[in-house]
Structure 1
Amino acid sequence: MAGDSGFQLRQGGPEVYERCWVRAQLAQSANELVATADVSSDDRVIDVACGTGVVARAAAARSSDAANVTGADVSIGMLDAAERFAADAGLDRIAWVECDAANIPLPDASFDVALCQQGLQFMPDKPGAMAEMARVLKPGGRLAISVWKTRSPIGAAFAKVLDNRFGEGTTAPWEMVYSLGERDRLHDLASSAGFRNAHVFFDIKFARHPDPEAFIAGAIAGSPIAETMAELSETEHDRLIREIVAELSHCRDDDGLAVPAECLTLTAQK
């Protein structure tokens, strides 16, 4: 996640984020984004707004040398966790850079591929971030960015239960998750940054988790309402979690929770 967005992890921390969202959804999506960018073994890759480093790890797994991969994020806490998770995966040569996405302290034309998974929508200076990604790419370098298109059933369930409990607008901060869900806006950002051959495609990502209550509790712990939820009694907290899970009963199969989310992916070249 990126920028001074107000949507940083609070009570949950990077470990909960990794255990919850990365396990359920973002690890698979990271592999798909890396494949979409056609990352090859000798490519130098930057993962912008890298969070806990799931995309950087996916890119490094395809590289001849993990040192070819750099993860950049504004949060030192996320970067520290990313470094730990990468080391646990045997990818301790990935480089990690603390920076705002609109001011990447790396030389021009340093990378063959720039990736950003579900981060651009949180950045205060989106044009600046796109311009920086263009700057650090070599001529002909490849860009692949994913953003959520619309509110998923999880977001709808949160809004129904939590706005009812805490007041209308409680979940409004989550709306920035979908703030880049229009194809034309992605095209405009790409063209303004000087990218060419921009292409946006739509698909569905699934959040899959075998324990729906554990997943929802983890998602809440890494949300803007984490502190408010933490003040509740255990009984009241667990009741709200169960209510949210009940709202998602139509997204259950024999393996647990299986929630679809609409996604847009932008690819382009410098």
Structure 2
Amino acid sequence: MPDTPLGPAALNPAEVYDAYFVPALFAQWGPIVAAEASVRAGDHVLDVACGTGALTLAAASIVGPAGSVVGLDANSEMLAVARRNDPHIEWLQGVAEALPLPDDSFDAVVSQFGLMFFEDRPRALREMMRVLKPGGRLAVAVCDSVDNSPGYGAFAQLLDRLFGREVGDAFRAPFVLGEAGQLRDICRGAGIAGAEVVQRNGKVRFNSIDALVSTERACMWTLGGVLSDEQFARLKRESQIVLLPFVIDGRIEFDMPALIVTAQKARKPISA
């Protein structure tokens, strides 16, 4: 993974995501989320908010040539990178709240680390259930509470101390659904019966503290455009102290669990 200062002049946000966040964090979750949806060979799978395709590619490797995978995202830059990653997969532009796909189309619908950013979360889940075939499986992953990720929790508190709670909360945006009861409430609002929430653990791994801090500063969904160059330099200095307990042989590593919502679409009753 590259370990250089990041900035808008070097990479667009989608390229930052694919080059830095995917190997450091998101790639590991593709097989985990696919397993929670019981994706298997020959399945037809939809990945909602696919980004640059980390989960989509994992699902494609499971379904094989007898199956198919569709990756859908609202961001055209993300999809451009996804198409470069695998031009043979069908990539669609669209929003989760109004999927441009017919009813009862997929054996499994999956999504990782997108639900937190949807404008209407219950509606998005209803749409995912709509396009599932009867008996189809749903698995949607979100970040667990930032307090359950020791490195990111320490980083959030550092941002609070240096620049105020508003900046710290900007960083916390991906963690806003990190409570199982909240997810169950959203599922009830979507009319999903029998939804379950499980916790699974993952790791954050960057080549260095500077690589983590630089990547977070470049993230358009959290700290992108929030910090001045002077503030960024201060954050890098202070992070060397605060994040040092998580450094192993020069690399930084710590736990970051996720919560995964799973559900199954009811089968249609057999006519008498």
TM-score, normalised on structure 2? Answer: 0.84
Where does residue 99 of structure 2 map in the other structure? 104
> C-alpha distance in 2, partners of 1:194/1:15?
36
Where does residue 248 of structure 2 map in the other structure? 253
> C-alpha distance in 2, partners of 1:186/1:228?
29
Aligned residue runs from structure 1 range 194-205, under 5 A: 194-205=191-202
Compare relative contact order (CA 8 Å, sep 6+) and give the higher one, 1 or 2: 1
Match of 2:138 among 138, 143, 151: 143
RMSD of aligned residue pairs (Cα, Å) = 2.2
Q: Deviations over 1:168-199 (max 9, x none)?
A: 42222233322222212222333443434422
Matched, 1:267 2:262: yes
Aligned residue runs from structure 1 range 211-222, under 5 A: 211-222=208-219
> C-alpha distance in 2, partners of 1:211/1:144?
32
Matched, 1:81 2:78: no
Instruction: Please state how far the C-alpha of 1:70 moved relative to its aligned partner.
Output: 0.7
Alpha-carbon spacing, 1:255–1:199, altered in 2? closer, same or farther (3 Å): farther
> C-alpha distance in 2, partners of 1:215/1:66?
39
Q: Which consecutive segments of 4 or more residues in structure 1 shift more than 6 A?
A: none
Instruction: Please state how far the C-alpha of 1:154 moved relative to its aligned partner.
Output: 4.0
Matched, 1:182 2:183: no
Alpha-carbon spacing, 1:226–1:190, altered in 2? closer, same or farther (3 Å): closer
Q: How many residues align?
A: 253
> C-alpha distance in 2, partners of 1:210/1:169?
28
Where does residue 6 of structure 1 map in the other structure? none
Match of 2:163 among 158, 161, 166: 166
Where does residue 225 of structure 1 map in the other structure? 223
Alpha-carbon spacing, 1:201–1:228, altered in 2? closer, same or farther (3 Å): closer
TM-score, normalised on structure 1? Answer: 0.85
> C-alpha distance in 2, partners of 1:141/1:195?
13
Match of 2:88 among 88, 93, 111: 93
Alpha-carbon spacing, 1:209–1:185, altered in 2? closer, same or farther (3 Å): same
Where does residue 117 of structure 1 map in the other structure? 112
> C-alpha distance in 2, partners of 1:263/1:203?
5
Q: What percentage of aligned pairs have identical amino acids?
A: 36
- Whether contact under 8 Å (2:155, 2:243) holds in the other structure is no
> C-alpha distance in 1, partners of 2:158/2:196?
37
Matched, 1:29 2:24: no
Q: Secondary structure at the match of 2:140?
A: strand
- Whether contact under 8 Å (2:156, 2:171) holds in the other structure is no
Where does residue 3 of structure 1 map in the other structure? none
Alpha-carbon spacing, 1:208–1:105, altered in 2? closer, same or farther (3 Å): same
Q: Secondary structure at the match of 2:166?
A: coil
Q: Deviations over 1:63-85 (max 9, x none)?
A: 22397111111111111111112
Q: Deviations over 1:121-152 (max 9, x none)?
A: 11110011000000010000000111112113
Instruction: Please state how far the C-alpha of 1:239 moved relative to its aligned partner.
Output: 4.3
Gaps of 5+ in 1: 1-9, 87-91
Q: Which amino acid aligns with 1:98?
A: Q
> C-alpha distance in 2, partners of 1:27/1:174?
21
- Whether contact under 8 Å (1:118, 1:147) holds in the other structure is yes
